[in-house]
Structure 1
Amino acid sequence: MYLKRITLEKDKNIDDRYPFSIPVIKRLEQLDITSNVTFFVGENGSGKSTLLEAIADKCGFNTAGGGRNNYFEVHEAQSALGDYITLSWMPKVTNGFFLRAETFHHFATHIDSLDGGDLSYGGKSLHHQSHGESFLSLFQHRFHQQAIYLLDEPEAALSPQRQLAFLRILDDLSANGDSQFIIATHSPILLGYPEATIFSFDDDHIQEVAYENTDHYQITRYFLEHRERFLREILKDE
């Protein structure tokens, strides 16, 4: 494990404008990372992706998606929080990747613009693979040991079966401690990875939660076990 701590620099001018209009970000002081695999969970707008993007910015990764050597621009891809946080490392690594599901198309176009870029991803352009295939191709061919990987909703392109395939890749890379993952996700499948730390961004503060206590697990389980009753409750006429 490499990244140990994320600290908000309180001595800098912090007001109520974005990103500090997000309660979780405004209240952030210090977040200790204790596992090779860490998940950020919470409703949209809770701040999990904002913090993940800021970490990517401080790592020197392209905040539009990619690593240190991937230069392309996407509108509104800059981090508003990166200048306000400090990362503590032991040891520091410079290898890694930031995945933004919403801008992956732009990353794929960037790779196609490089000479022989498609050869690094199974000999086939990422644009010539299905969305799910291209994500798995990225994980299989671009992710290696001794690196940190920051993934924002990787399940967006992955079927349940491919989410399980991704878990195997994640385990192969992180089990011996040579790679670290921080993942913002809504997937109850990914959250089930054993011995991962899960931080919830709901209720306006960050707190560690057990897998079984996440809304993702509880709602999914209740739906699967009581589907007809669940649907009657949410679909009934008011």
Structure 2
Amino acid sequence: MEAKPYLKEIVLKRDEVSSFDVYPFNIPAIQGLQSLGFHQDVTFIVGENGSGKSTLIEAIALSMGFSIEGGSKNVQISTHDNASRLHRYLHIIRNYKKPTDYYFLRAESFYNVATYMDQEIGDGNNPYYPPYQPLHERSHGEAFMQILTDKLKGNGLYIFDEPEAALSPSRQLAALSVMDKLVNGGSQFIIATHSPILLAYPNAIIYQLDEWGIKQVKYEDTEHYMVTRYFLNNHKQMLNDLLGE
């Protein structure tokens, strides 16, 4: 039996939800959620702003024991408490074998996690993470890449929420390469993203969240791919239409 996927499936305990008319259960994608299965390598969750993808990825992470702000399972910080109740209603189906590495990377709270790590690791002599250059001495994107290249060790379960937020297109391509090495090193990724570059990872499952619920789609059928492709091929006309020129 294969070790991956470490996280096989989530199931919404619908009979325990008192009302689907209140947040977060009134989000269309959550209203229709029964269960969601994950690819052994990479699963993407996509959707427009407000579609519920970050709510869902947060609930998955909290169900797995991560802090709401992200980091490894050793990082348990909370500078704000605005998590939805969704994680309390998820049944987690795991594989028999546990990963040896865990990380929840959340773009909006990465600054707080970086502060925690810099304070904990201190002057670089801490064996927890050698060699270590303080994350706040690097740009946002460089700090993200340092996590990918230095912190993640493989044989891991990695949950990312919009990791492209700090990355240039070229760095997103570099991140794809690092992801592939980690996948080949026994890792599983679950990623909420807007990036058509990251979404191109081969053979991944892509779930699209919208006003009709959740459905699995092909890369070429995602709005991210279609809009980006159309814009690049017709940018002058689109700008004329948008800007009224």
Per the alignment, do residues 117 and 153 of structure 1 end up closer, same or farther by CA in structure 2, a change over 3 Å counting? farther
> CA offsets, 1:167-203, max 9 Å, x none?
0110001135x11000000001001111111110023
8 Å CA contact 2:6–2:40 kept in 1: the answer is: no
2:242 matches 1:234: yes
1:139 aligned partner, one-letter code:
L
2:62 matches 1:57: yes
**1:79 Cα deviation (Å)?**
4.2
2:50 matches 1:41: no
Query: Match of 1:203?
Result: 211
How many matched pairs? 236
2:133 matches 1:124: yes
Query: Match of 2:169?
Result: 160
Query: Match of 1:7?
Result: 11
The separation in 1 between residues aligned to 2:88 and 2:130, in whole angstroms, is 33
TM-score normalized by the length of structure 1: 0.93
Per the alignment, do residues 47 and 172 of structure 1 end up closer, same or farther by CA in structure 2, a change over 3 Å counting? same
TM-score normalized by the length of structure 2: 0.91
Query: Match of 1:27?
Result: 32
2:112 matches 1:106: yes
SS of 2:181's equivalent in the other structure is: helix
2:71 matches 1:66: yes
Per the alignment, do residues 230 and 122 of structure 1 end up closer, same or farther by CA in structure 2, a change over 3 Å counting? farther
**1:92 Cα deviation (Å)?**
4.6
The separation in 2 between residues aligned to 1:54 and 1:174, in whole angstroms, is 23
**1:77 Cα deviation (Å)?**
4.6
The separation in 2 between residues aligned to 1:50 and 1:223, in whole angstroms, is 29
Unpaired runs of 5+ residues, structure 2, are none
Note the aligned Cα RMSD (angstroms): 1.7
SS of 1:201's equivalent in the other structure is: strand
The separation in 2 between residues aligned to 1:5 and 1:48, in whole angstroms, is 16
Per the alignment, do residues 18 and 92 of structure 1 end up closer, same or farther by CA in structure 2, a change over 3 Å counting? farther
SS of 1:194's equivalent in the other structure is: coil
**1:117 Cα deviation (Å)?**
7.3
The separation in 1 between residues aligned to 2:184 and 2:70, in whole angstroms, is 25
The separation in 2 between residues aligned to 1:73 and 1:140, in whole angstroms, is 25
